[in-house]
Amino acid sequence: MAHEVETRKKTQAEFEYAKRKREEEMRGQVATFALMIFLTLVAFTAVAADFSAYYVVPTILLLAAVQVGLQLYYFMHAKEKGHGTPIFFFYGGLLIAFTILITFVTIIWI
């Protein structure tokens, strides 16, 4: 029945290929990590350097958004296939999250 899983032995060539793919991906993820550390450093430096809040706040928010994208697509594998539906729902959650945030900084008697 559908619950039984067919397992198949890969040929040596297939195995080597899959292994190379995984290692490539891993190298990409390490590069992603380096980029994330860099973005974090930029954000902290921007704040520590005491620039005007007008520039700093949008910049660090943007950096955070980029970092989240990196986490999602590289660390959480959202770019692999089979992620369409889950990611669609995740973005649905983000849209509602965004609406709530906008509301709470605008129309709450502050």
Partner 1 sequence: MSSTAQAQKKGFGATLWDYLTTVDHKKIAILYLVSGGFFFVVGGIEAMLIRIQLAVPANDFVSAGVYNQIMTMHGTTMIFLAAMPLLFAFMNAVVPLQIGARDVAFPFLNSLGFWLFFFGGVFLNLSWFLGGAPDAGWTSYASLAIASGGHGVDFYALGLQISGAGTLIAGINFLVTIINMRAPGMTYMRMPMFTWTTFIASALILFAFPPLTVGLFFLILDRMFFANFFAVEMGGNTIIWEHLFWIFGHPEVYILVLPAFGIFSEIFAIFSRKRLFGYSALVFATILIGFYGFMVWAHHMFTTGLGATANAIFAVATMAIAVPTGVKIFNWLLTIWGGNISFSTPMLYALGFIPSFVAGGVTGVMQAVAPLDYQLHDSYFIVAHFHYVIVGGVVLALLGGLHLYWPKMFGTMLSEKLGKITFALFFFGFHATFFIQHFLGLLGMPRRVYTFVGDQGWDLYNLISSVGAAFMALGVITLVINIIMTSVKNERVGNDPWEDGRTLEWAIPSPPPFYNFKQTPLVRGLDTYWIEKMEGNPEGMTYAEPIGDIHMPNNSIIPFIMSAGLFVAAFGALYFIDGDKAWPLPVLALGLLITLGSMAARSLKDDLGYHIHKEDLLKEGGQPGGH
Partner 2 sequence: MDINKQYSAQTWPDHPETATLEGKNKFVGFWLFLGGETVLFATLFATYLALKDKGPSGMEITASQLFELPLVFIMTMLLLTSSLTSVYAMFHMRSYNFRAMQAWMAVTVLLGAAFLGFEIYEFNHYVHEFGFTYGHSAFSSAFYTLVGTHGLHVAIGLGWFILLMIRNAKRGLNLYNASKFYTISLYWHFIDVVWVFIFTVVYLMGVVG
Stretch that binds partner 1, among 1-9, 20-28, 32-40, 59-67 (CB under 8 A): 1-9
Token pair of 68, please?
Answer: 């989240």
Kindly write out the interface string for residues 69-108 of this chain, putting x where it contacts partner 1 by CB under 8 A and - elsewhere: ----------------x---x--xx--x--xx--xx-xxx
Binding of partner 2 by 104 (CB under 8 A):
yes
Q: Build a one-symbol-per-residue string for 70-99: x at contacts with partner 2 by CB under 8 A, - elsewhere.
A: -xx--xx---x-xx-xxx-xx-xxx-xxx-
Is 67 near partner 2 (CB under 8 A)?
Answer: yes
The two structure tokens encoding residue 94: 């983000």
Q: What residue 87 binds from partner 1, partner 2, none (CB within 5 to 8 A, per partner kind)? A: partner 2
Contact 83, 75 (CB under 8 A): no
The whole-angstrom separation of Cα 12 and Cα 22 is 15
DSSP 42-61: HHHHHHHTT--HHHHHHHHH
